[in-house]
Amino acid sequence: MSVIESVDERCKSCYSCLRACPVKAIKVEEAKAKVIDNKCIYCGSCVKHCPTQAKFAKSSIETTRAFFQQGERVIACLDPTFPAAFESITPQQLVAALKKIGFTEVMEGAFGGELVIQQYQKLLQEGNEKPIISSICPAVVSYVEKYVPSLIPYLAPIVSPMIAMGRMIKGKYAPEAKVVYIGPCIANKWEVQDEEVAGAVDAVLTFAELQTMLSESEIDPTTLPPAEFDGPQPLKASLLPLPGSLVKSLSLPYDILNPESLVVTGKEGMKTILRDLENNNLRVKFLELLYCNGCTQGPRVFNELTRYERRELLMDYVIRAFANHDDASFNRWMEKYGSVDLSRGFNDRFMEIEMPTEKEIKWILRKMGKRRPEDELNCGVCGYDSCRSKAIAVCQGFAELEMCLPYLAKKCQERFTALQRSHHKLKEAQEQLIQSEKLISMGKLAASVAHEINNPISGVLTYIKLMLKKVDGKPLAGKDLASFRKYLNIVAKETSRCGSIVRSLLEFARQSELKIQNLDVNSVLKKTIALLEHQMTLQEIKLTKNFKPLPEILADSSQLQQVFLNIILNAVQVMPDGGEITVSTAEGKDGFIEVRIADTGCGIPRENLPKLFDPFFTTKKGGKGIGLGLSVVYGIINRHRGKIEVESEVGKGSTFIIKLPRRGAASGSSYRSPPE
Ligand code: ADP
């Protein structure tokens, strides 16, 4: 039966339990820490240190209540630490409260200690070759049985005071009674189940559980008439919870210059002394060993008092008890019940856990980012003393990689960077989408307007041409006719311009299907440049071509030609007094080929850059531009799954960078033609 239980929902993966556990009997699975029963020594450190109460000792409240309900004779045995735990009420009030809850009798558990001390005296009288390790602390017994079984022969073969009390009651005093032991210790809950001593005590309540029972029964001990303890009144064994008390009771020489008697407490002390004993390093003959720093520091004492305040409370109680001690009654009890059998045996409970190979350990260390010795910080945050112990636990299935804080921090940073990258990509895609949507709706509008005015403009132009024909070649009849012909020519020219605007609009709106073929972008560029070379020479524009060999790509040749034409034409137009155009190509590392068209023209003001590809955005004055060239460029590049970027500096020039995917990415689907 398990003693310590875990509530997954409360576990916050802080690993406090693992840090506190002397034997690392905690398995972390999916970030939840659970106690491994057969590794556990039931010391209760995990319960004591868990900040969220996710670990708790299995309660015996229900069992105890059931004894009351069944009408049993239930004897409570109070652990001698009670004066340090219930500091705000008197012992008599506590006894009264226990009786009010339902206990038939309330005895001082320390009497069990008196019986045990007698047995230790006998053991020492027999003389001992090998060291004797006291076995009054069940956490120590469990540790020896599970982790240093070679020392089992050193354990005093005597039961603990709690079991002695139970055996005394069940042996002669009240064999039919139920014995409930009440104390600060969680390991007692395991001890009563140990097959070597089972049956002596029926249930163990912790002081915390007793407190809960009192609150649930709405019992305020301070309002009750005081009641006295039943049974024998103990003497020196009341001090057994304090370190050194057993050695003193046995009148052993406990001196700084005497290596034969030793008192050791605490988890590190316990582990060290037992290791030394195992290695035969010491001359110690009698070892009083307590896991906590004395039982007053047990895990289920719930007040905020310090170790020394608790010690004083206990001493005060014992001094008062000594003063009023009824020696005759004590001796009668001793004579009548002191002969009970208090012997016990122990079991080797060592658990063989397979050790991972050096290769496996190194592999896990590498996974945690610990490639070099200096990467092993041994910070202990995970609960293990070293990165290596943690790696071993991972191999054995007790720990998880994510328990390492530096590892988690690195993972977090990587995820953050990936998130930033995808956010950037998303933003880019969103901008492209907005631009495409804009083009589609502008395209629809342009198509319908162009359609409507195309016919009337053609009509007007036809009639103007007819009128010009009529006046053409006629002798000039005065100034009026000359002006008439001049005006008609202007109207014809402007109407033709209207016609060409409408044609451009229709062209922009009618995004015809791509005619995809394998092509060499360098040769498309060469063809395009050839169309404009004459114009460049006229304007004294120097052309530099810097073409690198390119792989063929899948694209529409005439549409790409239009892209390059529009961009180079703009460059030519912004350099009326000459300049330089550089056209270069290269194969990018990112799966794209890159075309750069740079000019040394006026440059583009920063505020115009976001509007550059918007339909009808133009800065060309006097009707010289209609602002559709770059919109058409954008549409074509987009349909080729490419990208277009502009770098520009006012007064220095602009560079248009076109990126086209190297293989099979072009499609007509990303930019649909608006309906005509
Ligand atoms: P249009 O040429 O009819 O104005 P475009 O869409 O081709 O329409 O160009 C839009 C605007 O972009 C131009 O009016 C100009 O302001 C700016 N532009 C385009 N290319 C360049 C360039 N090489 N240098 C400076 N400005 C440019």
Render pLDDT for 196-215 as a digit per residue (tens, 0 to 9).
Answer: 999 999 999 999 999 999 99
More confident residue, 325 or 477: 325
Bridge-based pairing of strands 541-547 and 516-519 is unpaired
Of 492, 509, 526, the domain-final residue:
509
Q: Which tokens in the block code for residue 665?
A: 């990415």
Query: Do the bridges between strand 592-599 and strand 653-661 make them parallel or antiparallel, or are there none, so unpaired?
Result: antiparallel
Distance 438 CA to ligand 1 centre (A): 18
Q: Relative to the CA of 603, which ligand 1 atom is closest? A: 25
d(CA 79, CA 77): 6
Q: What does DSSP assign to residue 186?
A: S
| Token pair recorded at residue 205 | 């309540």
Within-domain flag for 380? no
Residue 267 and residue 305 share a domain: yes
Q: Are 600 and 628 in the same domain?
A: yes
Q: Select from 312, 337, 362 the last residue of a domain.
A: 337
The answer on 563 and 456 residing in a single domain is no
Same domain membership, residue 256 and residue 147: yes
Question: How confident is residue 475, by pLDDT bands cut at 50, 70 and 90?
Answer: low
Do 497 and 586 reside in the same domain of the chain? Answer: no
Radius of gyration (C-alpha) of the chain in whole angstroms: 47
Looking up tokens 């015809």 gives 512
Determine which residue's CA is closest to atom 24 belonging to ligand 1: 603
Cα separation, 158 vs 329, in Å, equals 25
Determine, yes or no, domain membership for 28.
no
Are 198 and 48 contacting, i.e. CB atoms less than 8 angstroms apart?
Answer: no
Of 537-551, 610-624, 650-664, which range is least confident? 610-624
Structure tokens that stand for 290 in this block: 């307590």
Place of tokens 């068209």: 597
Q: What is the pLDDT of residues 359-378, one digit of tens each?
A: 999 999 999 989 998 889 99
Q: How far is the C-alpha of 452 from the C-alpha of 638, rounded, in Å?
A: 28
The tally of CA atoms less than 13 A away on the side-chain side of residue 450 is 20
Domain that holds residue 276: 59-337
Furthest-apart CA atoms within the chain: distance in Å: 160
Residue identifier of the C-alpha nearest atom 11 of ligand 1: 618
Same domain, 442 and 578: no
Average pLDDT, whole number, for the chain?
90
Residues 6+ apart with CB under 8 A from 321: 233, 234, 235, 238
* 319 and 203 fall within a common domain: yes
Q: What's the Cα-to-Cα distance from 657 to each of 510, 583, 585, 596, 669, rounded to whole Å?
A: 25, 10, 10, 5, 23
Give 647's strand partners. 655
Instruction: Say if 638 falls within a structural domain.
Output: yes
- 622 pLDDT exceeds 80? no
665 three-state secondary structure = coil
Cβ 222 vs Cβ 96: under 8 Å:
no
With a cut of 90, say whether residue 501 has pLDDT above it: no
Q: To test ligand 1's pocket by mutation, which of 439, 565, 582, 630 has the most ligand atoms within 8 angstroms of CB?
A: 630
Q: Quote the DSSP letter at residue 621.
A: T
Atom 20 of ligand 1, nearest CA residue: 570
Pairing between β-strand 286-290 and β-strand 132-133 as defined by DSSP bridges: parallel
Residue 22 and residue 45 in contact, taking contact as beta carbons nearer than 8 Å: yes
Minimal-distance CA residue to ligand 1 atom 14: 618
* Dist. CA 591 → ligand 1 center (Å): 29
Last residue of a domain, one of 466, 483, 509: 509
SS3 content of the chain, % helix, strand, coil (to 5): 50, 15, 35
pLDDT of 675 > 50? The answer is no
pLDDT greater at residue 563 or residue 474? 563
The answer to whether residue 498 sits within a structural domain is yes
Q: How far apart are CA 102 and CA 69, in angstroms?
A: 9
For residue 419, being part of any structural domain is answered with no
Q: Dump pLDDT digits (tens) for 454-468.
A: 788 888 888 888 887
- Residues 492 and 549 reside in one and the same domain: no
Which residue's C-alpha comes closest to atom 12 of ligand 1?
A: 612
> Same domain for 136 and 160?
yes
662 C-alpha to center of ligand 1: Å?
A: 28
| pLDDT at residue 670, as a whole number | 33
Confidence of residue 476 (pLDDT cuts 50, 70, 90): low
Q: What is the pLDDT of residue 434?
A: 83
**CA–CA separation, 488 vs 263, rounded Å?**
122
CATH number at residue 476: 1.10.287.130
**How far apart are alpha carbons 549 and 546 in whole angstroms?**
10
pLDDT surpasses 50 at 666: no
Q: How far is the CA of 671 from the centre of ligand 1 (A)?
A: 22
pLDDT at 597 over 80: yes
Nearest C-alpha neighbor of 108 from the set 58, 159, 168, 176: 168
CA triplet 395, 399, 402: central angle to 5 degrees? 110
pLDDT of residue 668: 40
pLDDT in the model for residue 669: 35
Residues 6+ apart with CB under 8 A from 479: none
Residue nearest to atom 13 of ligand 1 (CA): 618
Specify the pLDDT at position 479: 65
Are the CB atoms for 408 and 636 separated by under 8 Å? no
Per-residue pLDDT band for 674 (boundaries 50, 70, 90) equals: very low
Give the pLDDT mean for 49-70: 96
Residue 604 token pair:
């583009």
Question: What are residue 250's DSSP bridge partners?
Answer: none
How far does residue 527's CA lie from ligand 1's centre (Å)? 22
Q: Which residue has the higher pLDDT, 453 or 555?
A: 555
pLDDT tens digit sequence for 532-590? 999 999 999 999 999 999 999 999 998 999 999 999 999 999 999 999 999 999 998 88
Say whether both 296 and 259 belong to one domain.
yes
pLDDT in tens, 385-414: 999 999 999 999 999 998 988 888 888 999
| Residue 371, domain member (yes or no) | no
Q: Which is the closest atom of ligand 1 to the Cα of 656?
A: 23
Closest CA to 287 of 271, 274, 305: 274
The whole-number average pLDDT for the span 12-16 is: 93
**549 and 475, same structural domain?**
no
Is 50 within the bounds of a domain?
no
CA of 515 to the centre of ligand 1 (A): 27
Question: Quick one: pLDDT at residue 671?
Answer: 30
Residues 188 and 219 reside in one and the same domain: yes
570 CA to centre of ligand 1 in angstroms: 6
How far, in Å, from the CA of 619 to the mean position of ligand 1? 7
Which has more pLDDT, 259 or 528? Answer: 528
- The verdict on pTM exceeding 0.85 is no
Residue 623 sits in a domain whose CATH number is: 3.30.565.10
pLDDT at 256 over 80: no
In angstroms, rounded to a whole number, what is the distance separating the alpha carbons of residues 674 and 676?
A: 6
Structurally, how many domains does the chain consist of?
Answer: 3
Ligand 1, residue 631: give the atom nearest the CA.
6
Asked whether residue 280 is assigned to any structural domain, the reply reads: yes
Other beta carbons within 10 Å of 134: 24
Separation of first and last alpha carbons in the chain = 81
pLDDT digits (tens, 9 = 90+) for 78-116: 999 999 999 999 999 999 999 999 999 999 999 999 999
For residues 330-354, average pLDDT: 94
> Of all atoms in ligand 1, which is nearest to the CA of residue 620?
14
Query: In angstroms, what is the span from residue 251 Cα to ligand 1's centroid?
Result: 105
Evaluate if residue 667 carries a pLDDT over 60: no
Alpha-carbon distance 294 to 137, whole Å? 10
- Residues contacting ligand 1 via CB (< 6 Å): 566, 570-571, 574, 599, 601-602, 604, 612, 617-620, 625-631, 654
Amino acid sitting at position 651? G
